[in-house]
C-alpha cells in the first residue's frame, strides 16, 4: 500500500484517499455475516461487516437456539459439518452446547419406517426407547393411549444460547464492524466478464457508501467482493442494488439486455422463500418444565428447551428457569416476497391456539401447573420471518449474483449452513483474489454496534399468566374440551 498524490494504491487498485479499500464487504450482522467475518479474518482477508441494526437482531435472535443437524430433514452434509466444523468451533470460542442427552423424536410408526433407514444411511446416531423415557408429563397425555402406534427415539441434537453465539462471534471484531445504512452503491462495467463457472458477468460494484447511525458520518468502502448475508432483507437489498442509476448505466454501456438481466436475477431471487415462523414461549422453574427438547410429529410441534433466562448463559443451580420454544407447523404456510429487516411478523391467533391445544393434549401437566393461583408459569407468543431456499428445509444458498462479477449471495436456512456457506464463499473468492495481510482501519469501526436483545426479552413482547393467555387466544380449549380429545 502506498500513496500517490490524491490516491491510495492498494493491491494494484487506485482508490481516493477518503475511501477504505477492503477485500470483502459483508452486508448483514446475523449469524451468517458474523461467521463469514470470522472465517475471512482467519484466512487472512481484510474484511468489513455493515449492519443497520444490532447484531443478531433479525431472524437470528427470533430463533429457538437449535443447532439443527438435520434429523427430521435428513441431510448428511449438515451432520458432517456439525461434527467436523461447528462443534470444534463452539468449543474453541467457549459456546455452551447442551441438551444432547435430553432430545427426543416421537413419530408415528409409519413415518418411523422412513426415518430410520435415512438416519442409518446418513450415519445419524439414534436409540429407540420406550415412552417411559420421556419426561413424566408426556406420559400423562394422549401419548399413553398411542403407545402401540408411535415410536420414541433419543437423538444427539444440540442446543445453544443464541445471544451467547452472537456475542462470542463478534468478540474482538469491533474494528471490522460498521453500524449504519447503505446510502448508495456505485457500479461500473466489469473488467472481467466471466467467473470460474463461465457465466457471463457485466457489472462490478466498486464503491459502497455507508452513513453511520452513531455519528451521521459517511464511510466509503471499495471492496473487491461483496457478500450479502442480510437474511429476510436480502431481496430488498438486491433490488435496491438493481435499481442504482450506475448499475443501469453500466449495463447500457456494456450492451447487455437489461430486461433479460433483470428476469434472470428475479428467477434467482425466486428460489428464496420468506416464511413466517410462530414461537410459543413458556417459562417456568426447572421441575415444572423439564429441560427436554421433543419433536412431536403427530402434533405438528417442535419443542426446544433452553435453561436459564437471558439466553446468554447456561447455569445449573436452583435459580434455573426452563423456557420451552414451541413451534407449531402451519398447514397453510404462505411464502412472502418481502419482510422487514427486524423480521417481526403478525401473530396468527388461530394457529397459535391450535398449537397450544396440541401441546396440552400431549403434555396436560402444563395446564395443571399454569392454572394454580400462585403459578410461576408464564407465556408469550411472537412471530417472525425466516428465509428458506426452495421447498426443502435445510438447503443453503451460496452463489454469484446474476449480472455481477463480485457479488456473492449467501443464505443459510439453518444455522449450521452458515459455516457451509462461509467455506463455499471463500472458495469462490480465492479463485480470483489472494488474501492480503493488510488490515484497514475503518473510520468509526464498532461505533454503536451492539449485540441485540433476544426477541422474547425485548420491550415489545409481553409475558402472560394463564388467564391472560386464555383471553388473548380464545381458541384455546377449556379443560373439559381437552379431556374429551384425549378420551
Return the CATH number of the domain spanning residue range 97-158+273-388+454-486.
3.30.9.10
Residue-wise burial string across 135-159, b where 16 or more C-beta atoms lie within 10 A, e elsewhere: bebbeebbbeeeeeebbbbbbbbbb
DSSP 199: -
pLDDT of residue 336: 87
> 212, 229, 249: which is closest to 409 by C-alpha?
229
pLDDT digit string, tens, across residues 167-218: 999 998 988 999 999 999 999 888 764 444 445 557 899 999 999 888 888 8
Q: Is 357 helix (H, G, I), strand (E, B) or coil?
A: helix
pLDDT of residue 19: 78
- Residue 484, classified by CB atoms within 10 Å of its CB into exposed (0-12), middle (13-18) or buried (19+), is exposed
Contact 185, 176 (CB under 8 A): no
Q: Is 395 helix (H, G, I), strand (E, B) or coil?
A: coil
pLDDT of residue 192: 60
Architecture of domain 2-60+167-271+392-430: 3-Layer(bba) Sandwich (3.50)
Identify each DSSP E strand in 173-320 by its residue range.
Answer: 177-189, 201-212, 218-228, 272-285, 293-296, 301-307
What percentage of the chain has pLDDT greater than the value 70? 90
- The secondary structure of 153-166 as a DSSP string is EEE--EE--HHHHH
Q: Rounded to a whole number, what is the distance in angstroms from the first to the last CA of the chain?
A: 77
Query: Phi/psi of residue 291, each to 5°?
Result: -85, 55
Q: Which residues of the chain have pLDDT under 70?
A: 1-18, 192-201, 316-319, 437-441, 448, 479-487
β pairing state of 19-27 and 47-51? parallel
Task: Tell whether pTM > 0.95.
Answer: no
Report the mean per-residue pLDDT for the chain: 86
Output 124-127 pairs: Cβ under 8 A, ≥24 positions apart: 124/69, 124/70, 124/71, 124/74, 124/79, 124/155, 125/155, 125/156, 126/71, 126/153, 126/154, 126/155, 126/156, 127/153, 127/154, 127/155
Q: Is 212 helix (H, G, I), strand (E, B) or coil?
A: strand
Q: Domain locations in the chain?
A: 2-60+167-271+392-430, 97-158+273-388+454-486
Distance CA 367, CA 375 (A): 10
Contact 209, 19 (CB under 8 A): no
Amino acid at each position: 500500500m502506498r500513496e500517490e498524490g490524491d490516491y491510495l494504491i492498494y493491491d494494484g487498485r487506485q482508490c481516493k484517499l477518503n475511501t477504505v479499500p477492503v477485500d470483502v464487504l459483508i452486508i448483514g450482522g446475523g449469524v451468517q455475516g458474523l461467521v463469514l467475518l470470522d472465517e475471512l479474518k482467519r484466512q487472512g482477508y481484510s474484511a468489513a461487516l455493515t449492519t443497520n441494526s444490532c447484531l443478531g437482531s433479525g431472524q437470528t435472535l427470533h430463533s429457538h437456539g437449535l443447532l439443527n443437524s438435520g434429523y427430521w430433514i435428513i441431510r448428511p452434509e449438515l451432520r458432517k459439518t456439525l461434527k467436523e466444523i461447528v462443534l470444534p468451533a463452539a468449543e474453541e470460542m467457549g459456546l455452551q452446547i447442551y441438551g444432547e442427552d435430553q432430545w427426543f423424536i416421537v413419530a408415528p410408526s409409519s413415518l418411523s419406517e422412513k426415518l430410520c433407514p435415512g438416519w442409518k444411511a446418513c450415519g445419524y446416531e439414534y436409540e429407540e426407547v420406550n415412552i417411559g423415557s420421556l419426561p413424566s408429563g408426556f406420559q400423562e397425555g394422549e401419548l399413553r393411549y398411542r403407545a402401540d402406534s408411535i415410536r420414541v427415539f433419543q437423538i444427539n441434537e444440540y442446543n445453544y444460547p443464541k445471544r451467547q453465539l452472537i456475542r462470542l462471534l463478534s468478540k474482538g471484531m469491533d474494528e471490522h464492524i460498521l453500524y449504519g445504512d447503505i446510502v448508495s452503491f456505485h457500479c461500473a462495467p466489469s473488467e472481467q466478464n466471466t467467473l470460474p463457472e463461465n457465466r457471463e458477468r457485466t457489472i462490478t460494484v466498486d464503491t459502497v457508501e455507508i452513513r453511520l447511525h452513531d455519528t451521521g458520518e459517511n464511510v466509503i468502502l471499495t471492496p473487491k467482493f461483496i457478500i450479502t448475508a442480510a437474511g429476510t432483507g436480502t431481496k430488498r437489498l438486491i433490488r435496491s442494488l438493481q435499481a442504482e442509476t450506475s448499475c443501469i448505466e453500466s449495463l447500457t454501456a456494456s450492451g447487455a439486455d437489461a430486461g433479460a438481466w433483470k428476469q434472470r436475477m428475479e428467477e434467482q431471487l425466486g428460489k428464496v422463500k420468506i416464511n413466517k415462523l410462530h414461537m410459543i414461549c413458556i417459562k417456568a422453574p426447572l421441575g415444572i418444565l423439564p429441560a427436554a427438547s421433543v419433536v412431536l410429529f403427530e402434533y405438528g410441534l417442535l419443542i426446544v428447551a433452553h435453561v436459564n433466562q437471558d439466553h446468554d448463559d447456561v447455569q445449573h443451580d436452583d435459580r434455573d428457569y426452563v423456557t420451552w420454544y414451541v413451534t407449531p407447523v402451519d398447514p397453510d404456510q404462505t411464502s412472502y416476497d418481502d419482510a422487514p429487516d427486524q423480521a417481526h411478523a403478525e401473530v396468527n391467533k388461530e394457529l397459535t391456539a391450535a398449537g397450544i391445544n396440541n401441546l396440552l393434549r400431549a403434555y396436560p401437566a402444563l395446564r395443571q401447573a399454569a392454572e394454580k393461583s400462585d403459578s410461576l408459569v408464564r407465556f408469550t407468543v411472537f412471530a417472525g420471518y425466516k428465509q428458506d431456499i426452495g421447498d426443502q428445509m435445510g438447503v443453503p444458498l451460496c452463489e454469484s449474483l446474476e449480472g455481477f462479477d463480485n457479488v456473492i449471495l449467501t443464505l443459510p436456512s439453518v444455522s449450521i449452513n452458515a459455516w457451509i456457506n462461509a467455506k463455499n464463499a471463500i472458495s469462490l473468492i480465492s479463485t480470483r483474489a489472494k488474501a492480503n495481510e493488510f488490515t484497514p482501519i475503518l473510520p468509526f469501526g464498532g461505533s454503536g454496534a451492539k449485540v441485540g436483545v433476544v426477541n422474547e426479552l425485548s420491550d415489545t413482547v409481553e409475558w402472560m399468566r394463564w388467564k391472560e393467555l386464555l383471553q388473548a387466544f380464545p381458541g384455546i380449549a377449556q379443560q373439559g374440551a381437552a379431556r374429551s380429545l384425549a378420551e
